[in-house]
Amino acid sequence: MARTNIVIDDGLIESGLSETGLKTRRALVDHALRELIRHKRQKKILDLRGKIDCIIAATAIESGVELLHNDRDFDHIAAYGTLSVYSR
């Protein structure tokens, strides 16, 4: 584990400790970094999910078939395009 010296706003640290219930600055920084990484990974997954939905919708449109689904995203795509959907 590497040692790093950084200057952090004291008010931000106190707010973070109060909100999380963590006891040390180190625990707070570790927690904040883990949450940042988790958030970024979730965003990538959501972005990928949107891309996959678009690929599925485009394939259905190009094939001229109705898309049977249980996903509201396809209803939104159909509202603004030529995708034909059948929702359960």
**Counting every residue, how long is the chain?**
88
| 53 class by beta-carbon count within 10 Å (0-12 exposed, 13-18 middle, 19+ buried) | middle
pLDDT of 56 reads 92
Annotated domain spans of the chain: 10-87
Answer with the residue of higher pLDDT: 46 or 66: 66
pLDDT of 9 reads 96
Query: In one letter, which amino acid is 2?
Result: A
pTM of the entire predicted model: 0.60
| Whether pLDDT at 77 is above 80 | yes
Buried b / exposed e over 8-41, threshold 16 CB at 10 Å, is eeeeeeeebeeeeebeeeeebbeeeeeeeeeeee
What is the DSSP secondary structure assignment for residue 81, as one 8-state letter? S
Q: What is the pLDDT of residues 5-50, one digit of tens each?
A: 999 999 999 999 999 999 999 999 999 999 999 988 888 867 777 8
The pLDDT-based confidence of 72 (bands split at 50, 70, 90) is: confident
Whether the Cβ atoms of residue 74 and residue 85 lie closer than 8 Å to each other: yes
